[in-house]
């Protein structure tokens, strides 16, 4: 990540549950980034109208989706941010439908939009073993480099089921905040915590 200008960070929450574990953790990452001097913004996919891809392939020719919904505006916001925080809980071993629809809509988007973006993944799940997040983490581990993004870190929150339960996991909250700070201050970080 280059440049000395104030960094912008966008947090994208893929859970439909307000004040849920995903949102709380994304907020922590954003708070850490703000502590390090970044400007932040949070988007909840469930508040937007992002229709599933219809596989018409028009975007591959024109670079634009034929569906007139909120995706274009969201992409503009993403383009103005250097760091992207992607949050989704595990639903049936995968990401939420909201998050998957969002990813599918990247199909015809120019690769330059993605290239070099620093990405932090935030993934809470009810079960207590990272094994159950392996498909979702693996999906991102393939997609991010394919699109030229930098996978900076993954915050997994294991064993959190009820709304806001992650507030009791102070170590995970602290790690989320630290990663947010480090994503801006430039500390080299391993992908997993
Ligand atoms: C439809 C649905 C499917 C779920 N599937 C899984 C699952 O496969 N594995 C798991 O560990 N937790 C599963 N969960 C639990 C959520 O991942 C967990 O409650 C998470 O903390 C929710 O995050 P949120 O509060 O941000 O919505 C599921 C929850 C829902 C509503």
Write the CATH number for 41. 3.40.50.360
In this structure, which residue's CA is closest to atom 5 in ligand 1? 91
Instruction: Give the residue among 6, 38, 40, 140 at the shortest CA–CA distance from 86.
Output: 140
Q: Is residue 60 part of a domain?
A: yes
Q: Is residue 123 part of a domain?
A: yes
The predicted structure's pLDDT at residue 186: 76
Q: Is residue 12 part of a domain?
A: no
Contact 38, 10 (CB under 8 A): no
Range of the domain at 65: 36-185
Question: φ, ψ for residue 71 (rounded to 5)?
Answer: -65, -40
Over the chain, what is the mean pLDDT?
A: 95
Query: Rounded to an integer, what distance in angstroms lies between the CA atom of residue 186 and that of residue 168?
Result: 28
Q: Is residue 29 part of a domain?
A: no
Q: Is residue 5 part of a domain?
A: no
Cα 21 to ligand 1 centre (Å): 10
Q: Is residue 93 part of a domain?
A: yes
Higher pLDDT, 6 or 188: 6
Whether 193 shows a pLDDT value over 50: the answer reads no
Q: Is residue 1 part of a domain?
A: no
Q: Is residue 22 part of a domain?
A: no
Is the Cβ atom of 97 under 6 angstroms away from ligand 1?
no
Cα 108 to ligand 1 centre (Å): 30
By most ligand atoms within 8 Å of CB, the mutation choice from 26, 91, 123, 172 for ligand 1 is 91
Is the Cβ atom of 69 under 6 angstroms away from ligand 1?
no
Across the range 101-107, mean pLDDT stands at 98
Per residue in 56-90, pLDDT (tens digit) is 999 999 989 999 999 999 999 999 999 999 999 99
State the total domains in the chain: 1
């Amino acid at each position: 990540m280059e440049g000395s200008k104030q960094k912008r960070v966008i947090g994208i929450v893929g859970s439909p549950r307000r004040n849920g574990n995903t949102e709380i953790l994304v907020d922590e990452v954003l708070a850490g980034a703000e502590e390090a001097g970044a400007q932040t913004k949070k988007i909840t996919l469930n508040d937007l109208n992002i229709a599933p891809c219809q596989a018409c392939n028009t975007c591959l020719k024109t670079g634009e989706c034929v569906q007139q919904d909120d995706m274009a505006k969201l992409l503009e916001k993403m383009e103005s941010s250097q760091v992207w925080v992607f949050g989704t809980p595990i639903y049936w071993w995968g990401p939420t439908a909201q998050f998957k629809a969002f990813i599918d809509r990247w199909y015809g988007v120019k690769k330059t939009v993605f290239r070099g973006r620093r990405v932090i993944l935030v993934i809470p799940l009810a079960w207590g073993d990272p094994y159950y997040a392996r498909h979702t983490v693996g999906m991102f581990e393939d997609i991010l480099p394919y699109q030229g993004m930098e996978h900076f870190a993954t915050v997994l929150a294991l064993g959190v089921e009820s709304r806001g339960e992650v507030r009791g996991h102070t170590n995970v909250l602290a790690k989320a905040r630290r990663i947010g700070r480090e994503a801006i201050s430039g500390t080299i970080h391993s992908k997993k915590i």
